[in-house]
Chains A and B, each alone.
Chain A
Amino acid sequence: MSGVAAAVVLVLAIGAGGTAMLTRAHRVRHRARAVQASVMTTSGRLVINAYPWANVTSIRNVSTGIAVEIDTSFVTPSAVDLAPGRYQVMLANAEYGEPVQRVIDVAPGKEASINVQFEDGARAPLPDLEGESR
């Protein structure tokens, strides 16, 4: 009989532990969602496009001087979420000599965009769409 009681106690203990773990996991998930929501509402978004295309070589917060960590192969077209502020963005394409610099304000919850034209896209001839890739 005491064996049965011990088994019941064991089952109850495991159940309680499991419930506690689930509750904790739920709390962690809830907190993660809250943090994510807070980041989404406080950050802004920077959309970067270029013609024909560009490597984004740096993004630096003008007020703090701090550079944003970006991938070494950050190529247009791309978008990045940033804390609100004024940013200096450097874009380069080896075919067009000197890099191009743009300064742009990113506002909370808003989308800012940069469109660099190394050549006038509105007058660009249609490229050859057949033959070998160059």
Chain B
Amino acid sequence: MKRVIVMAFLVVFGAVAIAQPHVDPAHAQLQSAYQAFAAGNVDASDRALTSMLRSRPSAEAYLLRGAVRYTRAMLSRDPDPMLGAAKNDFRAALKMKKALRLNRNAFSPKLVAFFEEVRNGG
């Protein structure tokens, strides 16, 4: 009886383990930082992306942090320093991956325009 219970447990546990989709930790971190940005917690999103970039730089993380910093600049009384930081992030992102794009439905049109300006050498 004990053996049957153990076998049943192993079968159930195995099935659950197999059913779990593989989640890339970097993608999960990126998603979490994006959700903080989308919810309006731009400072938290900036901190999360900066931490990600310190441990493992990626084009997507630079791109998102650029979007976050552009937003911070637009909400700031003194936008220039943060706007410069956003531009640097977009440049770093494009250097790593030229095909990057900001979806026009998910990001503000003026942010998309700023990103495209940086892509075109602005």
Contacts and interface: CB of A to CB of B under 8 A. Distances in A.
Interface in B59-109: 60, 63-64, 71, 74-77, 97, 99-109
A65 B122 CA distance: 42
Contacts of B99: 130-131
Interface residues of A, number: 29
A53 B30 CA distance: 20
B interface: dominant SS: helix
B105 A95 contact: yes
A122 B35 CA distance: 5
B82 to A, nearest CB: 11
Contact of A124 (B35, B104, B108): B35
A6 interface: no
B101 A132 contact: yes
A75 interface: yes
Contacts of A123: 35
Given A77-B75, A129-B63, A132-B101, A53 B39 contact: no
A126 B34 contact: yes
B3 interface: no
A125 B31 contact: yes
Interface size range on B against A: 20 to 34
Contacts of A85: none
Contact of A52 (B35, B74, B76, B105): B105
B53 interface: no
Contact of A47 (B30, B75, B101, B102): B75
Contacts of A124: 34-35, 38, 106
Contacts of B97: 130
A78 interface: yes
B107 A122 contact: no
B17 to A, nearest CB: 25
B56 interface: no
Q: Which 9 A-B pairs have the closest CB atoms?
A: A121-B38, A53-B108, A121-B39, A127-B106, A115-B40, A77-B74, A127-B103, A122-B39, A124-B38
Interface of A: 45, 47, 49, 51-53, 75-79, 95, 115, 117, 120-134
